[in-house]
């Protein structure tokens, strides 16, 4: 696309949103002034796949063949998507779901022309403007701009959020991906605090794969999650942050020592156990996009140690699934207390668990019944010692990285230890698992709750359900790039009913992980934060007195009417 057409489209675009948003009141001169005060880091955002389309907002333009080929080739690659402000991992959030309008390719055939032929690319839910954040002052400028113009803000880091909280229609986007500093501290002392810790500081844009490699180079282990490209300092850390070593070493919120953040009142603050302690507590579970824009955070790291790994598979049949689920359900409380974490896999059927506490012999004994089951059911069970976290991550996670680029949502529920401890509870779980398998296929179950971690009560704001749960039961339906509003709604209604009638019914007093909740969770305040919600709301109002930040079902959420691209279920 030539520069002239680009500018023409930009002005056309501004005129189309003029009637419907606060952006209409912002003059060209004001945008230029904003750009100047952020050192030229203000950019116009266009849909990720626009280069493949010959129409944008119903206006013809030339296809950019070269750019399109790169997008097609890497359409399902998280590493490619993370470099673009306009790309999400779950692509429905690039679109406007309520009108099914967007600019998507078919992720099952990105080279196919059916998606682009005769279709006009639409801006969807993507902010027309964003700031590529470089300095704390860029954020202060953005808050001031929003206060003066009423233009809403949105914050995007890696774009992994399952509830689309990186997007808000007609907002000014703040992109933290390029905050890439990383440093190692043999003896980190949080400002104004005593005590020293082995720690790593990461800029908001640093990803797990970066921090895992960096920690390993420093003979340390960073305790984080399963996907390479999630940010270690963004929504993951603020919403909870689980990983397969969390049963022993705690959640992301348990391990963060200090956070540097610009709050919406314009202040650059340091939050830790000794200053801005209310904010520190709120940031340890209250969620991203709510209390300010995080610049960097510092996390406790562990010494590199060997870990035991089990990779067990089997061949499911009509007759062996009940025994399999019984072994898992019967033994999970014991496995939890021994420090095992991992995931129960749907493909290939089996489990991958890790343990940083047991010896190889103890690990083998702990898994004896499951290993015997595998051998009798055309399966395998390999238990081995890996030298540290990074080799495990490289062999078991990087190798099987899930493709992204299709529309997908989740619904999940934390399953309390108590269910696993009574005969009746175990029987209900097994019945549920058989039923869920028949209805929706074998489940994928992360086993990542901090069940064997020595938690200091009151230090974090995640729902206390995290502290006494063992499993997270979930379902993650997908739909097609070109599904209609009615088809999308039907998928979302079915998921909502499943989560409400089946998962929540199993554990009504439990909660859910806010980063992996169901979009239409009926009582999200209780599900995500339990008794902590009122206090979180007070902290939100203290640091964001003008309500400049708002996101879907976040603390202080102002309601669905402010988010017109989420469709209504009924
Ligand atoms: C494939 C996949 C695997 C996953 N695996 C795990 C896992 O193993 N463990 C786990 O706990 N979770 C996992 N998640 C969920 C993940 O934790 C959330 O998607 C999380 O929100 C991602 O945070 P982010 O900052 O990288 O992403 P984003 O989607 O960019 O941001 C998430 C939220 O945080 C806000 N935010 C981001 N950066 C900042 C900032 N600097 N300041 C303030 N607010 C900010 C955004 O506004 C948004 O609300 C997974 C998700 C996917 C898609
Ligand atoms: C902001 O300024 C930079 C540098 O001058 C320029 O490259 C960029 O296009 C400008 N952004 C907008 C939205 O005009
Ligand atoms: C593009 O044209 C279609 C069909 O005429 C119309 O429904 C849609 O609103 C138009 N979109 C824009 C952005 O003008
Ligand atoms: C995109 O995909 C092509 C082909 O697979 C690859 O050669 C290229 O390096 C990728 N580009 C980026 C930026 O990842
Ligand atoms: C699981 O435990 C129940 C008792 O709660 C027992 O009846 C059942 O045989 C056990 N299942 C297996 C496979 O060990
Ligand atoms: C045994 O398992 C292998 C894969 O591990 C599978 O291909 C094969 O079909 C299985 N055989 C039976 C009899 O289930
Ligand atoms: C786990 O075991 C299965 C079955 O032997 C094998 O196919 C798979 O590659 C193993 N996974 C890893 C990451 O080694
Ligand atoms: C089993 O699944 C059916 C739907 O196929 C559902 O109606 C029923 O409530 C489920 N039962 C349990 C115990 O979850
Ligand atoms: C819940 O399950 C989903 C889907 O399998 C997974 O992505 C997520 O990490 C899980 N959450 C927790 C809290 O374990
Ligand atoms: C969606 O696209 C596929 C092919 O890409 C096509 O077969 C199907 O008919 C389309 N569905 C709708 C609702 O347009």
pLDDT in tens, 150-205: 999 999 999 999 999 999 999 999 999 999 999 999 999 999 998 999 999 999 99
Give Cβ neighbours of residue 446 (< 8 Å, ≥ 6 apart): 226, 242, 244, 343, 471, 472, 474
> Domain 3-175 carries which CATH code?
3.30.43.10
Q: Which atom of ligand 4 is closest in space to residue 77's alpha carbon?
A: 14
With a 6 A CB cut-off, is 347 part of the ligand 6 pocket? Answer: no
With a 6 A CB cut-off, is 522 part of the ligand 10 pocket? Answer: no
Let me know: does 519 contact 551? Beta carbons within 8 Å: no
Q: Which of 430, 502, 504, 508 most suits a substitution to test ligand 8, by most atoms within 8 Å of the C-beta?
A: 502
Give Cβ neighbours of residue 425 (< 8 Å, ≥ 6 apart): 418, 419
**Confidence class for position 400, pLDDT limits 50, 70, 90:** confident
Average pLDDT of the residues in 426-439: 96
pLDDT score, position 465: 96
**Atom 23 of ligand 1: nearest residue by CA position:** 235
Q: Which ligand is nearest to the CA of 88?
A: 1
Q: 12-16: long-range contacts at Cβ-Cβ below 8 A with a sequence spacing of 24 or more?
A: 12/57, 12/59, 13/57, 13/123, 13/128, 14/128, 16/57
pLDDT in tens, 3-62: 444 444 444 444 444 345 788 899 999 999 999 999 999 999 999 999 999 999 999 999
**Tokens of residue 152, six digits:** 């809403």
With a 6 A CB cut-off, is 524 part of the ligand 8 pocket? Answer: no
Q: Which ligand is nearest to the CA of 436?
A: 8
Would you kindly state where each structural domain of the chain is located, as residue ranges? Answer: 3-175, 182-304+533-562, 307-530
- What percentage of the chain carries pLDDT values higher than 70? 96
Element (H, E) at 154: strand 153-156
- What percentage of the chain carries pLDDT values higher than 90? 92
Q: Ligand 9 centre from 445 Cα, in Å?
A: 7
pLDDT score, position 12: 44
With a 6 A CB cut-off, is 11 part of the ligand 8 pocket? Answer: no
Q: Which atom of ligand 2 is closest in space to residue 10's alpha carbon?
A: 13
Whether the per-residue pLDDT at 399 is higher than 90: the answer is: no
Average pLDDT of the residues in 366-376: 98
Q: Ligand 8 centre from 502 Cα, in Å?
A: 7
Question: Which whole-number Å values give the CA distances from 335 to 39, 389, 406, in the listed order?
Answer: 54, 19, 35
pLDDT score, position 10: 46
pLDDT score, position 20: 56
Whether the per-residue pLDDT at 388 is higher than 90: the answer is: yes
pLDDT in tens, 532-563: 999 999 999 999 999 999 999 999 999 999 99
Q: Ligand 1 centre from 548 Cα, in Å?
A: 20
Query: pLDDT higher for 204 or 472?
Result: 204
Identify which of 170, 188, 140, 299 has the alpha carbon closest to the alpha carbon of residue 234: 299
**Confidence class for position 308, pLDDT limits 50, 70, 90:** very high
Identify which of 49, 59, 60 has the alpha carbon closest to the alpha carbon of residue 16: 59
With a 6 A CB cut-off, is 73 part of the ligand 4 pocket? Answer: yes
Backbone angles phi, psi at 200, to 5 degrees: -130, 135
Q: Rounded CA gap, 329 and 436, in Å?
A: 15
With a 6 A CB cut-off, is 37 part of the ligand 4 pocket? Answer: no
pLDDT score, position 292: 98
**Tokens of residue 397, six digits:** 């996670």
Q: Rounded CA gap, 565 and 123, in Å?
A: 12
With a 6 A CB cut-off, is 15 part of the ligand 10 pocket? Answer: no
**Atom 7 of ligand 10: nearest residue by CA position:** 114
pLDDT score, position 401: 80
pLDDT in tens, 220-270: 999 999 999 999 999 999 999 999 999 999 999 999 999 999 999 999 999
pLDDT score, position 434: 97
Average pLDDT of the residues in 518-544: 97
Q: Ligand 5 centre from 326 Cα, in Å?
A: 6
**Atom 4 of ligand 3: nearest residue by CA position:** 58
End-to-end CA distance of the chain: 41
**Tokens of residue 17, six digits:** 């949103």
**Confidence class for position 474, pLDDT limits 50, 70, 90:** confident
Fold of 307-530: Vanillyl-alcohol Oxidase; Chain A, domain 3 (3.40.462)
Pocket, ligand 9, Cβ cutoff 6 A = 242, 410, 412, 444, 446, 448, 472, 474, 476, 513, 516
Average pLDDT of the residues in 314-331: 97
Average pLDDT of the residues in 69-96: 98
CATH pick for 182-304+533-562 out of 3.40.640.10, 3.30.70.520, 3.30.465.10, 3.90.1300.10: 3.30.465.10
CA angle at 436 for the pair 349 and 76, rounded to the nearest 5°: 60
With a 6 A CB cut-off, is 58 part of the ligand 3 pocket? Answer: yes
pLDDT score, position 16: 44
Q: Is the bond preceding residue 134 a cis peptide, omega within 30 degrees? A: no
Query: pLDDT higher for 283 or 16?
Result: 283
Give Cβ neighbours of residue 327 (< 8 Å, ≥ 6 apart): 369, 370, 373
pLDDT score, position 1: 36
Average pLDDT of the residues in 462-486: 92
Q: Which of 439, 443, 475, 504 most suits a substitution to test ligand 8, by most atoms within 8 Å of the C-beta?
A: 439
Q: Which of 143, 236, 259, 401 most suits a substitution to test ligand 1, by most atoms within 8 Å of the C-beta?
A: 236
Q: Ligand 10 centre from 118 Cα, in Å?
A: 13
């Amino acid at each position: 696309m030539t520069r002239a057409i680009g500018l023409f489209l930009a002005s056309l675009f501004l005129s189309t949103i003029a009637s419907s948003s606060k952006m209409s009141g912002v003059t060209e001169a004001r945008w230029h002034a904003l750009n100047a005060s952020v050192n030229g880091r203000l950019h116009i955002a266009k849909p990720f796949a626009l280069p493949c389309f010959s129409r944008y907002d119903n206006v013809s333009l030339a296809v950019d063949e070269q750019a399109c080929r790169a997008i097609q080739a890497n359409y399902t690659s998280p590493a490619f998507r993370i470099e673009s402000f306009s790309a999400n991992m779950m692509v429905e959030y690039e679109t406007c779901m309520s009108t099914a309008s967007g600019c998507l390719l078919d992720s099952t055939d990105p080279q196919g022309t059916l998606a682009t032929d005769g279709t006009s690319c639409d801006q969807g839910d993507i902010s027309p403007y964003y700031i590529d954040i470089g300095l704390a002052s860029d954020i202060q400028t953005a808050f001031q701009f929003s206060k003066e113009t009423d233009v809403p803000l949105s914050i995007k880091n890696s774009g992994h959020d399952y509830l689309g909280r990186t997007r808000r229609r007609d907002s000014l986007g703040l992109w933290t991906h390029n905050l890439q500093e990383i440093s190692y501290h043999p003896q980190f002392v949080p400002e104004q605090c005593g005590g020293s810790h082995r720690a790593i500081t990461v800029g908001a844009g640093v990803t797990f794969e970066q921090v895992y490699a960096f920690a390993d180079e420093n003979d340390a282990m960073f305790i984080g999650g399963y996907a390479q490209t999630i940010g270690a300092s963004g929504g993951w850390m603020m919403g909870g942050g689980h990983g397969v070593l969390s049963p022993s070493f705690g959640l992301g919120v348990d391990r963060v020592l200090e956070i540097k953040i610009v709050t919406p009142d314009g202040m650059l603050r340091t939050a830790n156990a000794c200053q801005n302690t209310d904010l520190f507590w709120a940031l340890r579970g209250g969620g991203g996009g709510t209390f300010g824009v995080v610049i960097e955070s510092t996390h406790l790291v562990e010494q590199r140690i060997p870990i035991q790994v089990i990779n067990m598979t089997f061949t499911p049949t009509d007759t062996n699934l009940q025994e399999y689920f019984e072994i898992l359900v019967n033994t999970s409380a014991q496995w939890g207390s021994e420090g095992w974490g991992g995931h129960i896999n749907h493909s290939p059927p089996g489990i991958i668990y890790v343990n940083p506490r047991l010896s190889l012999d103890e690990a083998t004994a702990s898994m004896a019944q499951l290993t015997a089951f595998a051998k009798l059911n055309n399966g395998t069970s390999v238990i081995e010692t890996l030298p540290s976290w990074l080799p495990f991550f490289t062999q078991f996670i990087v190798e099987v990285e899930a493709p992204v680029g299709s529309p997908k949502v989740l619904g999940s529920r934390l399953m309390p230890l108590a269910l696993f401890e009574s005969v009746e509870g175990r029987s209900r779980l097994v019945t549920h698992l058989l039923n869920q398998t028949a209805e929706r296929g074998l489940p994928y179950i992360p086993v990542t709750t901090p069940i064997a971690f020595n938690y200091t009560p009151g230090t974090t704001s995640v729902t206390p359900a995290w502290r006494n749960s063992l499993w997270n039961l979930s379902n993650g339906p997908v739909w097609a790039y070109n599904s209609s509003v009615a088809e999308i709604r039907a998928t979302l209604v079915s998921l909502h009913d499943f989560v409400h009638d089946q998962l929540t019914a199993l554990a009504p007093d439990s909660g859910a992980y806010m980063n992996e909740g169901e979009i239409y969770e009926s009582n999200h305040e209780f599900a995500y934060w339990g008794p902590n919600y009122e206090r979180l709301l007070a902290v939100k109002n203290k640091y964001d007195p003008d309500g400049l930040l708002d996101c879907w079902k976040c603390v202080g959420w102002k309601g669905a009417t402010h988010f017109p691209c989420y469709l209504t279920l009924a």
